[in-house]
A and B are shown apart, each in its own frame.
Chain A
C-alpha cells in the first residue's frame, strides 16, 4: 500500500513498462525512450496529484477514461521554464547569431521545438523587437502538449515568475524594463499580444520525427534532457533536417552534441552557450 504524501513507496521499472505499453497501444504516444529517472518522478507526481494509490490505478484510469489522457500528457511533460534563462546565451544570440544570419538573408525563420508555456518565445520576440527586425522574422513554436500551447498563446505569467524573468532580463541588459511588454491584471501579467503577431503555435511531437519546414535557427533548450540517448539521436536528426545549411541549433547549457551520432554535421559556434551551426547536409 502507498502511504500518503511524499513518503510514498518508490515506483518500480516494471510498473512503468506496463504504463508505457498501454499509452503506446491506446494513444499512440511513445514514452519508451524518455529518460527513466525523470519519467519516474513525473509518474510519481501524477499519482500524488490525483491521489491514485498505485501505478496500476493510473493504468486503470487511462484504460477506461480517454478524456484523462490530455491531462496525463500535460503532467508527464516538464513545463518549468523562464524568460531569458541564461542571460549570457541571449546576449550571444542578439550580438552574434542574428547579425550573422541577417548579413546574408533578408528574412529570418525560427523554430522553438518544445516551447512549453512560451517563455523562450516571448524572450526571442522581445529580442527581435528591440533590434527593430521583428517584422523580418517568422516563428513557429511547437509542443507535444495542447494545454500548454494554449497557455503559451494566452501568454499570462504569474507575479512570482515575473520576478525571475525581470532579473534575467536585467542581466541580459535589454533596452527597456520588462514590464513594458506586459499589462498587469491582479496578480497576472499579460504579455502584449501584438509582439506575438509573427508567431504561430502548433502541436508537434518531436518523438515522431516529422519535418515540416526549414529554419535559420532552431531552439530546443532543455527538452532533450528528458530523453534517453537513443531518442536524443533521432530527435537531433529531425532538428538537423529542419535547419537550412549553415543554420543554428541552440541547446541547453548542460546539453552536449559530443556523444550524438550526428555531431560531425555540426560545428561549434559557442561552446559555453551551446550554439552549433549545421555545417553539412
Chain B
C-alpha cells in the first residue's frame, strides 16, 4: 500500500533490480521520473551476457534521463541513472564510486542483483531505497534483506501486477518489505520524493 509516511528526504540513492518481465515496468519508471530527480539510481537488470550493445539504448529511448553504463571506478553523480553492464557485476564502492567485477555468477547471474543491492546497502546504510521488480528467480531477495537490516526502505512491485512474481515474492517471504506497489504507485512515490527534495531546497 502506498504510504506517505514512508517519504523522507534523508535518502541518498535508489537501487532497482529486475529480471524477466521487468522491461515494461522499468521503462514506465524511467519515463515517469521528474527531470530534476536528484538521487542517483542504480539499475541491475538481468540481461544476456554476450550482448554488450543495445540494451542501454533501448532503455534510454523512453527514459527522461540518459541511462549510463558506468566504467569501473566512475564517480557517482546525483541524478544519474547507472545500468549494470553485460557480464559484469556492479557494486557501489565506499568513497562514492562504482566498481565492476567479473566474479563468479551469483544466483546464476552476472550482473547479480544481490551484489548491487548488498554493496549499495553497505555504502548508503539507512539512506537507500531498494526496489525489486518482476523476475523468475530469487536474485535480489538477500540484497533487499541487507537494505532492510541497515535501515533502508524496501519496495517491491506488487506480485499481482508482475509478469513473473517469483522475485518480489521471494523478497516478501524473507524480509518485512515496507511497501508492495503497482508500477504506477512506484512512479508516484518517486515523484513525491522529488517534490520533497525541492521543498527542502527552497527552504534553504
Measured in the bound complex, the distance between the Cα atoms of B70 and A229 in whole Å is: 15
Report whether B73 and A232 are in contact in the complex, using a CB–CB cutoff of 8 Å. Answer: yes
Measured in the bound complex, the distance between the Cα atoms of B69 and A256 in whole Å is: 12
Interface stretch, picked from B31-39, B92-100, B155-163, is B92-100
Report whether B71 and A254 are in contact in the complex, using a CB–CB cutoff of 8 Å. Answer: yes
Pick from B69, B71, B88, B92: contact of A37, CB below 8 A.
B92
Check if B173 is an interface residue, CB within 8 A of chain A: no
The size class of the interface chain A forms with chain B is 20 to 34
Report whether A259 and B100 are in contact in the complex, using a CB–CB cutoff of 8 Å. Answer: no
A213-234 contact mask (Cβ, 8 Å, vs B): 1 or 0: 0000000001011101100100
Pick from A36, A167, A226, A254: contact of B85, CB below 8 A.
A254
Of chain A, the residue at the smallest CB distance from B146 is A10
Measured in the bound complex, the distance between the Cα atoms of B85 and A30 in whole Å is: 29
Report whether B101 and A225 are in contact in the complex, using a CB–CB cutoff of 8 Å. Answer: yes
Q: How far is the CB of B191 from chain A (nearest CB, A)?
A: 31
Check if A6 is an interface residue, CB within 8 A of chain B: yes
Report whether A37 and B99 are in contact in the complex, using a CB–CB cutoff of 8 Å. Answer: yes
Of chain A, the residue at the smallest CB distance from B84 is A254
Measured in the bound complex, the distance between the Cα atoms of B149 and A10 in whole Å is: 10
A-B pairs with CB below 8 Å: how many? 81
Q: How far is the CB of B170 from chain A (nearest CB, A)?
A: 13
The size class of the interface chain B forms with chain A is 20 to 34
Measured in the bound complex, the distance between the Cα atoms of B46 and A4 in whole Å is: 27
Please, which residues of chain B bring their CB within 8 A of the CB of A167? 50
Check if B145 is an interface residue, CB within 8 A of chain A: yes
Of chain A, the residue at the smallest CB distance from B120 is A37
Please, which residues of chain A bring their CB within 8 A of the CB of B97? 229
Report whether B72 and A256 are in contact in the complex, using a CB–CB cutoff of 8 Å. Answer: yes
Check if A258 is an interface residue, CB within 8 A of chain B: yes
Please, which residues of chain B bring their CB within 8 A of the CB of A85? 87
Please, which residues of chain B bring their CB within 8 A of the CB of A48? none
Report whether B122 and A10 are in contact in the complex, using a CB–CB cutoff of 8 Å. Answer: yes
Report whether B103 and A254 are in contact in the complex, using a CB–CB cutoff of 8 Å. Answer: no
Q: How far is the CB of A129 from chain B (nearest CB, A)?
A: 24
Check if A65 is an interface residue, CB within 8 A of chain B: no
In the assembled complex, 25 residue pairs joining A and B whose CB atoms fall closer than 8 Å, in A order, are A7-B142, A35-B73, A35-B91, A37-B93, A37-B94, A37-B99, A37-B101, A38-B91, A41-B103, A41-B115, A78-B101, A78-B102, A80-B103, A86-B52, A225-B72, A225-B73, A228-B73, A229-B73, A252-B72, A252-B100, A254-B70, A254-B88, A254-B100, A256-B74, A259-B73
Residues of B that sit less than 8 Å from A by CB: 50, 52, 69-74, 85, 87-88, 91-95, 97, 99-104, 115, 118-119, 122, 142, 145-146, 149
Give the 6 A-B residue pairs with the shortest CB-CB distance, closest first.
A37-B91, A256-B71, A225-B72, A37-B119, A38-B101, A35-B99
